[in-house]
Amino acid sequence: MLTLLIGIIVVVGACYLGFVFYQRRTIKMATDVYENKRDLNKIPLDDEFALAKKLNLTGESQKKYDQLYNKYQHYKNQMLPSIDEGIAEVKDDGKGINFIKTRNDWQNANQAIEDANSELKEIQAGLAQLYDLNKQHHLALEELEKKYKRLREELLNKNESFGTSIDHLEKMLADIEGTFDEFTQLTKSGDPNSAEEVLSDLNASTSKLESYMERIPKLNSMLTKEFNDQLQEIQTGYKELTAKHYNFPKDHFPQTIKRIRTQIKASLKQLENLDVDVVAKSVEDVADAIDHLYDALDLELKARPHVEKNTKVIGEYIAHVRKQNSDLALRLESLNKSYVLNHQEIENNHQYDQQIATIEKQYAKQTQAIKTGQAVFSVIDQEQQKMMKDLGQIEALQKELFQSTIQLPSKEKQARSSLAKFDLEMRNKKRRIDNHNLPGLSDDYQDAFAAVIREINHLNDAMSKPQIDMDDISKQVIIIQSDMDTLDDKTNKLIDNATLAEQTIQYANRFVSSSPEIAAANKQARLYFDQKYDYQKSLDTISKALEKQSSGMFTKIRDDYFAAKKRVGSTKKNDDH
């Protein structure tokens, strides 16, 4: 029982302490809200409205001021009292135990203070804008007044540089000054908002006038003086050159000069009406057209010395190439009697002749035009450059053709020398074989030997013709040389095998009575040697049997043979030297 009583006392005590803590927290929340509200009173807007009223605002600016003042009255008469009520509610709520309502009232009071603070900042910014515009417009008045004074003086002192545009420029300045008077009146009367709109137009018009005054003098100078001087210079130069028999491709000089003068006249009228951008584009076009006329004159002046110099050179070059082609034609005609010309040499020579004739015709036309004073030197200069290039190509091809044909007699001489060498080598091969007194030759070797003989005879027949084909003969020489090398290898191998087989059989005779195997091999080797003329098999048969009987013996016989052969070869070479 006592325990329950103590528990009740503890619970009641805890509730009491919680309630006391809640009341103190509520009082602090109310105090914080009140302190936040006090910050709103630190901005002295009453004084600022009093100063703004002294600006003597009118029109749109007065409307703006009235809107700001009405907002301020709403802030003072409605927003502030509402905040005070909210603070009072927070304090009253603190006496009860409705925690949720207390917190909502506290949040609402704080939100009201934030809204009031935002309202104050908007009002203050609006007043600052009125002050700034007023200050800026007074400064603009001073600057613009100085600028218009300078522009008037410039129009007066430099009126000649503006040409016929001066009247429109002065009118433009007068219109701008009228707008400036309106801006001045609005500024002094205290309507900075309306003055700001006028100032924007005023600045745009002034910038446009300044741009015109900066650009027009140069455009006017080019249209009234510079272009006319250039056209006069071109016209004079054109007359002097045509008098000296200069001509121009598609000559439209007089018409072009007339068109440019008309364009200049139209541009001056446009400049008078201040169509400056249009005139600027027209001036660019006129300048380009005049540059093209200068370039045309300069092109002919520079081309003539080239043409006068190259005309003589090309004439001599044509004669040289023509003679060279004629000499080449005679040579080809002579060679064609003894040789078959397989590479269209004669046809190519005729083609060069036609190309030279075309160049000669063009050259004659050029020289006639120069003689009669009708030459367009720039055109002839380009034609002559191509003619020089074409003549150079023809000359190079002629030399190439000449080099290919000049070698025919020397190639024939080399081929005849090769034919004689082949014949001698075949005789020597036959003599070498005969000197070894062999019992016979294999069919394979005899066929290879006969094939080379037939090839040599075919070459001899080809070279005995009245008109020989050196391409075919050169191919035959290459083939015969290859077959001769092959036959030479076969001959050497045949003689080596036959000699070694004979020496080995003779050496093996020592063992015939004592070795049945060598006796049988010796008999078989003799059969290959004497009857079948297969000296390779004969050597293989007896050498294998001998090696079985006495290892290393055949190797010694073979090495001794090739060593002796080498010594004989060296001695022969020394005797030849």
Q: Find the helix or strand (DSSP H, E) in which 223 lies.
A: none
pLDDT at 1: 54
Question: Rounded distance, CA 386 to CA 376, Å?
Answer: 16
What pLDDT is stored for residue 405 in this prediction?
Answer: 85
197 vs 330, more confident: 330
Of 456 and 44, more confident: 456
pTM above 0.85, yes or no: no
Using alpha carbons, select from 354, 349, 290 the residue that is nearest to residue 325: 349
When comparing pLDDT for 88 and 473, which is higher?
A: 473
pLDDT-based confidence at 102, cuts 50/70/90? low
Most confident of 29-43, 175-189, 225-239: 225-239
Q: Which of the residue ranges 161-165, 221-225, 446-450 would you say has the lowest mean pLDDT?
A: 161-165
pLDDT of residue 69: 56
Per-residue pLDDT at 195 exceeds 90:
no
Residues 6+ apart with CB under 8 A from 120: 40, 43, 45, 75
Contact 363, 383 (CB under 8 A): no
Main-chain dihedrals φ then ψ at residue 467, nearest 5 degrees: -120, 105
In Å, what is the CA distance from 538 to each residue of 498, 501, 504? Answer: 8, 6, 10
pLDDT given at position 206: 76
Q: Categorize the per-residue pLDDT at 406 as very low, low, confident or very high, splitting at 50, 70 and 90.
A: confident
Tokens 């001087």 correspond to: 229
Helix (H, G, I), strand (E, B) or coil at 78: helix
Task: Count CA atoms closer than 13 A to 258's CA, side-chain side.
Answer: 4
Read off the pLDDT of each residue in 174-201 and give the average, rounded to a whole number. 68
pLDDT in tens, 240-288: 999 999 999 988 999 999 999 999 999 989 988 888 899 999 999 999 9
Burial of 386 (0-12, 13-18, 19+ CB in 10 A): exposed
Q: What is the mean pLDDT of the chain?
A: 80
Residue 437 CA, distance from chain mean position: 81
CB 547 within 8 A of CB 515: no
Q: Which pLDDT score is estimated for 492?
A: 94
Which residue did the predictor score with more confidence, 470 or 392? 392
Work out the average pLDDT over 6-12: 56
Alpha-carbon distances, residue 533 vs 346, 484, 489, 519, 547 (angstroms)? 56, 22, 17, 20, 23
Higher pLDDT, 316 or 88: 316
Q: Residue 22 is which amino acid? A: Y
Closest CA to 60 of 181, 197, 188: 197
The CA distance from 456 to 418, in Å, is: 10
Mean pLDDT of 187-194: 63
pLDDT (mean) for 325-338: 90
How deeply is 66 buried, as exposed, middle or buried, from its count of CB atoms within 10 A (0-12, 13-18, 19+)? Answer: exposed
pLDDT of residue 311: 93
pLDDT tens-digit profile of 446-497? Answer: 999 999 999 999 999 999 899 888 889 999 999 999 999 999 999 999 999 9
pLDDT, greater one: 58 or 24: 24
**How much is the pLDDT for 480?**
94
C-alpha closest to that of 392 among 460, 320, 453? 320
Q: For position 212, what pLDDT does the model report? A: 80
What mean pLDDT do residues 9-30 have?
50
Per-residue pLDDT band at 127 (split at 50, 70, 90): low
Residue 340, pLDDT > 80, answer yes
Q: Which amino acid is at 134?
A: N
Which residue in 451, 449, 455, 459 sits closest to 428, CA to CA? 449
Q: Would you place residue 19 in the very low, low, confident or very high pLDDT band (cuts 50, 70, 90)?
A: very low
What's residue 59's pLDDT?
A: 45
Whole-angstrom distance, CA of residue 463 vs CA of residue 412: 8
Residues present in the chain in total? 577
Q: Taking 90 as the threshold, does the pLDDT of residue 203 lie above it?
A: no
Does residue 66 surpass a pLDDT of 60? no
* pLDDT tens profile 352-385: 999 999 999 999 999 999 999 999 999 999 999 9
Q: What is the pLDDT of residue 57?
A: 47
Of the pLDDT bands very low, low, confident and very high (cuts 50, 70, 90), residue 18 is: very low
pLDDT score at 285: 93
Structure confidence at residue 551 (pLDDT): 84
Cβ-Cβ contacts under 8 Å for 108 (sequence gap 6 or more): 86
Across residues 223-235, what is the average pLDDT?
92
Highest mean pLDDT (candidates 150-154, 203-207, 328-332, 569-573): 328-332
